[in-house]
Each structure stands twice: as structure tokens, then as C-alpha cells.
Chain A
Amino acid sequence: METFNNSKPILLFLLLPCLLLYSLIAFNSSSVEAAMHTNNWAVLVCTSRFWFNYRHMANTLSLYRTVKRLGIPDERIILMLADDMACNTRNKYPAQVFNNENHRLNLYGDNVEVDYRGYEVTVENFLRVLTGRHETAVPRSKRLLSDEGSHILLYMTGHGGDEFLKFQDSEELQSHDLADAVKQMKEKHRFKELLIMVDTCQAATLFNQLQSPGVLAIGSSMKGENSYSHHLDSDVGVSVVDRFTYYTLAFFERLNIYDNASLSSSFSSYNPSLLMSTAYYRKDLYKRNLEEVPVTNFFGSVMETIHTDAAYKALSRINSGRFEAQTSLDQSVHHIEKRMPMKVNDQEETHNIIPEGEEGASKCPWSTFWNKFRKGENVDTLVNYGLVAMIPLLVISTWLVQ
């Protein structure tokens, strides 16, 4: 009887952390935007093939070069090209692709990694890349492995029209397909922010149907307008670059990885008279002020580093029952490989964000010590104390027995 009376405050005691945990979970599920920006991805798509669409490939390769220059590595770039220009029999400069008639830059230079080439650039593959729904045999380099902290740049160029984009002269991607894919991406937390840049005729119609928050879109021309090429290279024999991309590059060539020029300055650098079309951007779905967003948020890879003194803790270190059962070597490596965000991961993140003082409901030093011990922070010191204590114990015992 006594123990039952004593157990009532203990029950209340136990309820408090449960309530706290529940509130944490509730808080967490409502604020996914609390996810930090952790990585940048770029999906660059050239939807045309054949020699006379040289400029589309040059557009894409120019963006590829810019994005790499500003810091996004090849593992984070999905490049989809028909890739039939550089080694085309009609190319006077074999294995070279230029975007300017001064031939200053060879875009097809040292390390161009094309992920989808030739006939693999299809609407189906494009949508699979965006939504992440691949066959099991598709290699990692062909997947968009973004998570809820990713900023993605999606650049598309080719021939388009009112609410469609032509893929390789045989298929078309419609605006509602794109909006659908983006909606799926949002549901699956595959991006934090998405910038869609389209350089085709009547580009702005392609993102008419978008509804997902966190998406910023800019197109080279509005409904009823064409996007024009910039100039013809008489040596190569075709137009080598489109106007919109040309002026985009003119903006970016002045930048390096440390500049924090804002997106609004980029967007306002387009002159309609020079473009011969109106570059229209859509920012109703994007909550942040464009003046504050640096271009390197999408076009480069500059991130905030947080310095901690603690040793790096591998993924499965938080003490929940399932993880403790799986901490042999194979599983821990497997966990690092699996990049699906799991519930416990979110809990981990919120644990990091919320200060420690709110965690333990009890102020008893023993329980905080036991909590710390369970988390494994004091293990090493405990073992060291144990080892050091062995020696006086030995000495005393030997002396006593004598």
C-alpha cells in the first residue's frame, strides 16, 4: 500500500517527460522548415538534339561550367544532354563546344560528366530524376539524392511553347507534368528551395501550374514571345548561344564563389530590349525576400559551417531501442548509406536545436548523470577512472594481505 502511495508522484514524474516528448514531436511535425540548408543540387537539362540545336547544348554546358566553378561538385549535378554536338561530323572543331564566336572557352573541356546522354534524355527519365522513383538498377550517379535541406537548381533549355517543352523532337513535357513532379518532390521532402530556370520560347508558361511552396521560377520569355539566339558563329556555322543564357552568363562571369550578389540583382539584370523578350519570374511561391538570397544559394555551393568541439558522432548514436540493437559494423554503415529521413532523425535534429536545459524534467544530478551515461558521453572518463582506480586497489589489497 505504501509503495502505491509512493508510486503516484513517480507516475507523475514519468508523465512529464512523456508530455515533453509528445510536444517535441508535435512541434517537429509542424515545422519542417526548421530543416537547415545543407546541400545544393543542380539538374541541367538540354532537351534538343541535332546539329542545328548546338546552342541549346552550349547553353547547358555553360551553366554546367558556371555551377561547377561556383562550387557544386559533379556528384551533385545531374546533367542531361543529347551530347551529339562535340563529336558530330559537322563539327569543325571536334570535341570542342563553344558558347561564343571568340572561341575563348571550350565548354567540352576536361571534366564534363554527363549523366543522361543521347536517347536517355526522355520525359520519363526527367520525371524519374525529379521524383526519385527509379528502377533499382539505376546507379547513384543518375539519381537526384536530395533531402529536405537541399536547394535545387533546375535549368531547362530547348524548344518550347505554350505550357509545353519539347524533348528530343519526339516527346513533350507539359506544365502540369512539371507541377505534378514538383508537388511530389515537396511531399517527399526532396528539396528545401527550388529554382527553375527555363530558356525556351514562351518559357514562363511552363510554370503556370506550379503550386508548391518554396519554388522560384524564371523563364526567358512570356506567353506569345519567342526567345532568340544571341549570335551566329560563322566559323562553326550555327548559333552558339541563346540570349537569355548569354546575359545570365554575363552576370555570373563577374562573380566568384565568395560574392554574395543577390538573386534580385540577377533577375533585374535582364534587359528586355537586349533579350528581345521579357524575362518573367514568379516569386509568389517563394517566401523569402529576393534581395537577401545570394545567388550562390542555387548556383554555387556555399554553406554555413558550424564548428563543434565534440567528436563526430555516427548516425546511429541516439539511444532509441532499435538503433542500439543494430550497432554492429554492417548495420551502421548501412544506416549511413540509407538517406531516407526517418522519424528518429528528425528527433535528433530537434534535439540539436532545442537547448539541453529543456530536456530533462528532473533536476536530480543522478538522473542527469545517468542520462549522460546512457548517451555515452562520459564512458571514456568512467573507464579511465576505473583503470586508474585499479592500481591503488591492487596496492592496498596486496599490502593488506601481507
Chain B
Amino acid sequence: MEKLKKKIRSFSFWNWVIASIIFRLILIYFPNNLNLSSRPEVSTPLTSFRRLSEGYWLKQLSMSPYAGSMYHGSPLLLSLLGPLTVKRIEGQPNHLLYSLVSVIADVVSAMLIRATGQNLQVAYFGTLKSFDLVKQIEGSEVHSPGDVAALIYLCNPFTIVACMGLSTSPIENMAVILCLYGACSRLIPLAAFGWVIATHMSLYPAILIIPVIFLLGRGPDAPPRKLFLQMHQEKGVLNQSKLPPCFSWGPIIHFAFWALLWSVYVLVLCGISLKQFGGLWEMFKSTYGFILTVEDLSPNIGVLWYFFAEVFEFFWNFFLIVFHANILFMILPLAIRLHHRPCYLAYVAVCSMLKSYPSVGDSALYSGLLGWFVNELSDMQFSLFLFCGYVGVSPLSPVMHNLWIWRGTGNANFYFATTMVYACLQIVLVVEGVSAMLNHDRKLRSLITGKPRDAKS
């Protein structure tokens, strides 16, 4: 019976995967990819397809790809994806090859998410077994986090829109997920590679170093270590082998070595390709400098464009520091509180609220990663509110944009309202998620120690 259930579940999983792939392929054949690549929610100055082809064209004319402040991505992407922007096949829609690359990136990301989720599931069951709690949860519905997360990632409308909008976010997401997969499965060169590539392409995945260190040092998500000690105190059995391993520095050093190696490799390649155009400093100025200084104030799904349009230039530096440090300041305390759950920490890091140029590709990533914690977060408050909020904001945002820009009957405040709501939803999601996770830990503790504690919300 169990086997049949499992078989049915896995069968329907692959069904969904194939259905989503077919759906994307159908969407490719719509004219002009439904003009999704011109939506500000999809294409930002960092991920836009038009800017990528402009950078490639400039490169072909032997000019610096960063000339004219159009392209702000990695020069390696130009060599990889650049030729795809111009390749045309007779009778097929434009940019077929590029869309196929995005689809493949999505599928690979989904498979990696699934593998990581399975890792997490194994670890979860392992801890439950060591707490002798398996019987208690067997009755209730336990979903496989890998499958759920992979399906959420593939079938999420945000992901599909980001894929069809020809942005570079599927590839950035793939790099982030590769890093997390490598860290979960203890494949250190892979994790280092993913981290270096993700940081190289956009700056914010650099913060993933903290969860990755915890993942490599300790292993995937597990209840806090002191719970184990408490349990053994209670039960009086001291079985060393069942204890989770102590924090080990060896893999960290290994990771540092490989990260250094890969970053030197990537920087050397970038330096070679940009040798005549100002070298690495030009690249850093145009990519990281552009992200950090928020030069481009064209509307997107974030809030910084409106904010910096109304703030006096005198205060820009201050507010830039505040916004960018916000991400750091959010991660550090959470790292202390949730150091035993590094994958969740990675999820929060990926959320990167108040980014310079967010797009739906980012929300695709963290929605997908949310699926890993479907068991722990099953009691999250406001889940319906958040879901309805996202469903409501997604069509409203293009409508407000249309009202503002094309019809002229609205103004920037209309659009900014939807982006503010989006940012609020993101914040509420993270906050509620963290509290739900802490509640889950408390429940585990109460189950183990037998003393009921008040579940603080």
C-alpha cells in the first residue's frame, strides 16, 4: 500500500514536470514571447534580454560591452548567451534557442531542488528516528519536500513568466540552487562553483556564504543540538553515534580553497575578455557598482526606484548603505538563532528583501525553495492571506503600470503601491516563516521532553 502510494506520487510528479515543460514549449511559440520581455517586472537592468543582446553587439563591434550603461552583467554570459541572441532559425520563433536554454535551466534547477529536498527529507527522517518520533507522524500527511519544492518551482507562474520573458534569472537561480545542492550533498567543489558563479552574476548571493558554511560544517537542517542532549539526559541513554556531528572546520577550509580557485578562474577569464576595455575594474564598476549605487531608477517590482527618485542626492549614500546593510543585518541575527537550520537560513538569504532591482525571477526562486519546508511550515499563520496577496498583486502590477505609463490616467504612486504591497508580502512571508519554524522547533522540544510549552506566535 505504501509502495503504491509512493509510486502514484512519483508518477504524478513526473507528469507535472512534463506538463510544465510542454506548457513552456507551447508558450515559446506564441508571437514575440507574449512581449513578456518588455515588462518591468520581468526584465530589470540586470536581467534584461535586450541589454544582453546590446552588450553582445557592442562586443562584436570591438567596443566595451559596458559602453552606454546598457549591459550590466557578466562578460562570461556574453560569450555564452550572446551568440544565442542573434541566432535565427528559419520558420521558428525568434530566440528559440535562448528560450530553450532557459527551459533547460529551469528543469535542471528543479531536478537539483528535488535532490536537495530528498537530502533534507532523509536528514529529517533521520532526526525523527533518533528521537523515536517516527510513529507519531506516520499517520499525518508528510509530503516529500523535494517533490513539492521542485513542482512549485516548475509550475509557479512567476518562474514561467521569468523563463518566457527571456531574462537571465533562470540561469542565476540555477547557480544558486547548484550551490545549495552542493553544500547539502557535501560536494564541496560544486558548492564553491555555484557560489562563485551566483555571486559573479548578481551580487546578492554572496550572503549565501553564511548558510553554506553552516551546511558544510554541520549538515542539513536538524533540530537544535541541545535537544539531543536533553533527550539523552531524559532517557538516560548516551549513544554517541546518534548525536549529530559537531561543527567541523575541515569542509569549510576545503570550501574556501575551492571558492578561491573558482573565483580566480572566473576573474582571469573576465580579465582576458575585457582586457582592452578597461579590465576588471571596469567590470566591477559596471556590475557590482551599478547594483550597489542603484544608478538606474526605472520602475521595477522593488521599492528603491521610487524612493531614490524622491530622496535628495545628499542623502543617497546614507540610504544606500542602509538598504544594502539591511540584508546583512537580517541574516546575522537569524544565523545565530537558526544556525541549526542552514537551509532555511539560505532560503531567507535568497529572499533578499529591498534588493536594488528585483524581478519575478527572484520570487520564483524563493517560492520554490519555500517548498523544502512544507512540513515544518505547515502551521504557518497567514498562509492564505499571503497566497491571496501574491495572487492579487501579480495581475494588479501590470495593470497599474499600464495605467501609469501607457494610458496616463494614473501616476507612479499607483505602481509604487503594488510594489509596496509586494515588498510587504515578502516581509510578512519571511517573518511568519521564521516564527513558524521556531514554533516547529518548540513543538519538537515539547514532544521530546514531554513538557508542554506555550507556543509563542
Contacts and interface: CB of A to CB of B under 8 A. Distances in A.
B347 to A, nearest CB: 24
A341 interface: no
A317 B62 contact: yes
B277 interface: yes
A383 B62 contact: no
A383 B273 contact: yes
Interface in A302-326: 311-314, 317, 324
A38 to B, nearest CB: 20
Interface range for B: 20 to 34
Interface stretch (B182-190, B403-411, B426-434): B182-190
Contacts of B254: 401
A384 B63 contact: no
Given A314-B62, A329-B67, A401 B278 contact: no
B64 interface: yes
A386 B75 CA distance: 13
A351 B258 CA distance: 45
A311 B57 CA distance: 11
B269 A383 contact: yes
Interface stretch (A81-89, A116-124, A141-149, A374-382): A374-382
A317 B187 CA distance: 44
A317 B76 contact: no
Interface string B60-74: 111110111000000
A390 interface: yes
Contacts of B76: 383, 387
Contact of A402 (B67, B187, B265): B187
Contact of A394 (B68, B190, B273): B190
Contacts of A102: none
Interface string B237-265: 00000000000000000100010000001
A31 interface: no
B398 to A, nearest CB: 34
Contact of B189 (A313, A324, A397): A397
Given A394-B193, A401-B188, A384 B79 contact: yes
Interface residues of A, number: 24
A332 interface: yes
Nearest to B194: A394
Interface string B168-187: 00000000000000100001
B64 A386 contact: no
Given A328-B64, A329-B64, A329-B68, A382 B272 contact: yes
Contact of B64 (A327, A384, A390, A397): A327
Nearest to B75: A383
A398 B277 contact: no
A91 B265 CA distance: 78
A386 B272 contact: yes
B276 interface: yes
Contacts of A314: 61-63
B384 interface: no
A380 B273 contact: yes
Contacts of B189: 394, 397-398, 401
Contact of B278 (A327, A384, A394, A398): A327
B143 interface: no
Interface in A357-394: 376, 379-380, 382-384, 386-387, 390, 394
Given A380-B79, A382-B272, A332 B63 contact: yes
Contacts of B190: 394, 398
Contact of B60 (A311, A376, A386, A398): A311
Contact of B276 (A324, A383, A390, A402): A324
Nearest to A333: B67
B269 A386 contact: yes
Nearest to B258: A397
Interface in A141-169: none
A332 B68 CA distance: 12
**Across chains A and B, which 3 residue pairs bring their CB atoms closest together, nearest first?**
A397-B189, A383-B273, A386-B269
22 contacts: A311-B62, A312-B62, A317-B62, A328-B282, A329-B63, A329-B67, A332-B63, A376-B62, A379-B273, A379-B275, A380-B79, A380-B273, A382-B272, A383-B269, A386-B269, A387-B79, A394-B189, A394-B190, A397-B258, A398-B189, A398-B190, A401-B254
